[in-house]
Structure 1
């Protein structure tokens, strides 16, 4: 049975996410940190605006990591041997992940520092 194009697009996108989580070490790490941030948001009853910041940080990091994976795989397919331009493309994609991850750490400190300090004081 063939799925309508609109539904098939979602199926393919979801498959890409699942494959990345299963096969990419950094995606597993980002997923674990995202899950921890979501659990801590519930445990500490983070206010809605701060929770939205957490969701934004998670979304940016996961999206950047998915794009990084896509770029790396495409470059590897197109240029199996090492080439300076291939390295530049891969490094730039990894840099995008680093920028979003630093943003996520800053958000995490902003959102969780006070609740964690209060919890440790008890």
Structure 2
């Protein structure tokens, strides 16, 4: 019974990783987020960021990636519901994209301020 539970949990990780792979392979903005994440993490290593800074950088990266994944899920769901132009669907997509923009800008500010402070 316990092994069955563990196998199912491990299986759910497989679905999650498949979703992340799909996100990275199908979404141009995810590639931009990936490049930015790698660049910031390399800068943090070079600048020998302390643990507290790593916590902020990781949290910001996770927030951006989560927002991008949810935005993509909303877009796919909306396109599945109706492929035709629809004002409400358009608003839903715009709101989801706006959420990604807010999170990405906040992450860029936090990351930029942290890295600048570490470079001094």
Q: Same fold (TM over 0.5)?
A: yes
CA positional deviation for 1:107: 0.7
The equivalent position to 2:34 in structure 1, one of 26, 31, 35, is 31
Q: CA–CA distance in 2 between the matches of 1:112 and 1:6? A: 37
**Residue of structure 1 equivalent to 2:13:** 10
**Residue of structure 1 equivalent to 2:82:** 79
What's the C-alpha RMSD, in Å, of the aligned pairs?
1.3
CA positional deviation for 1:115: 3.4
**Residue of structure 2 equivalent to 1:45:** 48
Q: CA–CA distance in 2 between the matches of 1:54 and 1:31? A: 13
Q: CA–CA distance in 1 between the matches of 2:117 and 2:86? A: 47
Number of residue-to-residue matches in the alignment: 115
The equivalent position to 2:59 in structure 1, one of 56, 61, 72, is 56
**Residue of structure 2 equivalent to 1:21:** 24
Indicate the SS of the match to 2:48. coil
Q: CA–CA distance in 2 between the matches of 1:87 and 1:45? A: 44
1:30-60 Cα offsets, whole Å, 9 max, x none, are 0110011111111100111111110011000
CA positional deviation for 1:27: 0.4
Q: CA–CA distance in 2 between the matches of 1:30 and 1:90? A: 19
Tell me, yes or no, if structure 1 residue 100 matches structure 2 residue 72.
no
Name structure 1 gaps, 5 residues minimum: none
Indicate the SS of the match to 2:49. coil
**TM-score, with normalisation over the residues of structure 1?**
0.89
Q: CA–CA distance in 1 between the matches of 2:117 and 2:96? A: 33
